Every structure is written in C-alpha cells, then in structure tokens.
Copies of this chain bind each other. A is one copy, B any other.
C-alpha cells in the first residue's frame, strides 16, 4: 500500500468545492485541509478541516501538493508564487496574455523552495492546449480551430449584471454550427470573431426597467459584445432559477491537415461538460498526482501540461498501462 497523496485546497469557491469532490473519486488521495480567507468557522467543507489562509505555512511537511483554486485576476498572481515557495502546487491560471510572466515568477519561487509547480491546467488552458500542440506536431501542414461552448462565460455574465436595470443575468457563448461544419469539412475557412461564436444573454430586469435600453447597452458593449451577434432574452426570476443555475461548458479543438501529396486528415477533441468548475477540478486533481510523483523524482520549478507525460496522471503502473490501455 502506497502512502496517500496529501493535498490541500487554497480558496473554497466553485473550483475548490469541485476539487474536494474530485479527491473523493481518487482513493490514492487524502484531503488534509481547505484554506480560506474567510473565517474558517463560516465555511462548511463537508467535514474537511478548514483553516485560515494565514496558517498555510504551518502545514509544511504535512501537505504534498497545494491545489490553488483562487481566481486568475487577482488571487493567483499573488498566491501562485508565494505558495510555490512553500509547497508543490497546481493551478488553473487562465489569463492567456500573462502566462509567460506568471510562469517565470512561479518558476523562480518554486526553485527557491525546492518545489514543483504546474500552472495553467484545466481544459482551456489545459487539455485543449495539449490537443493544439499534438495536432500541429502530427500534422504540421494544416489549420487548428478552437470553438468554445455552448457554455456559460462568467466574465460576460458579470458584465451584463453591471448594466443598470439588470437584476440578474447569465451569458452563454455558443459556437456557430455552420462554422464548425465548414471546418470539419476541411474547407479551412478564415473565420472572423463574429463568424465563430454568438452570444446569448438571459436577463432578469429590475421592475419597470427600460428593456430596450438594456438590450442596446449590452449589444454595444465594447470588447464583450460589440464584435459578436448577441441575442438578449428577458426572463423572470423563477425561470432564471429553474433553467439557468448550472455552469455547463465545453468546446472543440479541430486540426485539419494534409499528408503526402494532398491527403486530408482530421483530428478532433471535444468536451461536453455539465459543470465547467467540476471538470476543471478533476483535471487539477489528475495533474496534482503528476506533480507529486515528479516532485518525488526530484524535479523542481514551474511546468505546464506540455511537460507532463500522460502516465503520470494515472494511478496505474506503467506495466498496467501498457497491458490494458495501449
């Protein structure tokens, strides 16, 4: 019997709760504690010990991998490097433009502490990133397309909720069927932002609000909606609760390419997720297993999904994998 992989969760929102549930599905893991900025007594983690985040350092030597579940905007840029100096870490940092800078900071901190840190995993960045690199490596002459949705975008939902007169709102990103069809068909189309995805908003208005104005304000919002075809539906609070409380998401990565003279080849990876945070959490836990093992082998510094052999994600031995999965 091997020792369990002892993990901690830092940040207890949707993602943190997802990690707590994912750990239960993996018998080689032990969840030691959840760390929060709130008062620990206010947080119910289903029987798991809850500690204030200021007590992190006390757990050195008692936790093998910290799974960072804070947000990418303000939490992770600070927590990532700070915690990487104390513990092995895994996170889902997803501010694409700032990944190189974040990687460098976490790498430096992890090396200073003799730890290993995997950044930016989940499904995108994460599994989708893997598929983009795999597709291009196998079919160097071709095109890669990523479509997202149908799914809820938290950032866009937040933006709609900030419009005056909006009581509650949710935004779905939906890929354009005809664009997917053309890509699958090997047409290699050049697609504009507008041609790839549409945005649909379900809005619960304040009583007496000017619906026309709300709709225009949403549709013309620069950066968030102006470049897309956006549809706005006004619904009741009851309908909102009944039909729009989930966090589904998903998407498709397609690589179309040619080999030989002009032989068409196509690779496609797609995800259909009833819960985006629960799936992301499951990916984080699988990569925590890899971080644990690679750290035991003496690796230090920052890594991404590109650096991790798939075998390290599985609880099975190399022999079992070769016999049962190859």
B residues less than 8 Å from A319 (CB atoms) = 100
A199 at the interface (CB under 8 A from B): no
Known: A99-B322, A286-B137. A265 touches B269 (CB 8 A): no
A123 to chain B, nearest CB (A): 9
Binary interface profile of A, 289-326, with partner B (CB < 8 Å = 1, else 0)?
10000000000000011111111011110110111011
A138 at the interface (CB under 8 A from B): yes
Do A134 and B313 touch (CB < 8 A)? yes
Do A271 and B266 touch (CB < 8 A)? yes
How many angstroms from the CA of A27 to the CA of B138 in the assembled complex? Answer: 14
Tell me the nearest residue of chain B to A125, going by C-beta.
Answer: B326
Do A278 and B263 touch (CB < 8 A)? yes
A132 at the interface (CB under 8 A from B): yes
Cβ-defined partner of A325 (8 Å) among B132, B260, B325: B132
Known: A310-B305, A311-B306, A313-B138. A103 touches B322 (CB 8 A): yes
Binary interface profile of A, 13-45, with partner B (CB < 8 Å = 1, else 0)?
000001001100110000000000000000000
Known: A103-B322, A129-B325, A323-B100. A272 touches B266 (CB 8 A): yes
B residues less than 8 Å from A289 (CB atoms) = 137
Known: A18-B259, A270-B268, A275-B265. A321 touches B304 (CB 8 A): yes
A173 at the interface (CB under 8 A from B): no
Binary interface profile of A, 102-132, with partner B (CB < 8 Å = 1, else 0)?
0100000000000000001000010101101
Do A307 and B304 touch (CB < 8 A)? no
A235 at the interface (CB under 8 A from B): no
A152 to chain B, nearest CB (A): 14
How many angstroms from the CA of A279 to the CA of B139 in the assembled complex? Answer: 8
B residues less than 8 Å from A286 (CB atoms) = 137-138
How many angstroms from the CA of A274 to the CA of B136 in the assembled complex? Answer: 17
How many angstroms from the CA of A141 to the CA of B261 in the assembled complex? Answer: 43
A15 to chain B, nearest CB (A): 12
Query: Interface on A for B, CB 8 Å cutoff?
Result: 18, 21-22, 25-26, 96, 99-100, 103, 120, 125, 127, 129-130, 132-134, 136-141, 259-261, 263-275, 278-279, 281-283, 286, 289, 304-311, 313-316, 318-319, 321-323, 325-326
Q: Which 6 A-B pairs have the closest CB atoms?
A: A306-B311, A137-B313, A259-B278, A266-B272, A137-B286, A263-B275
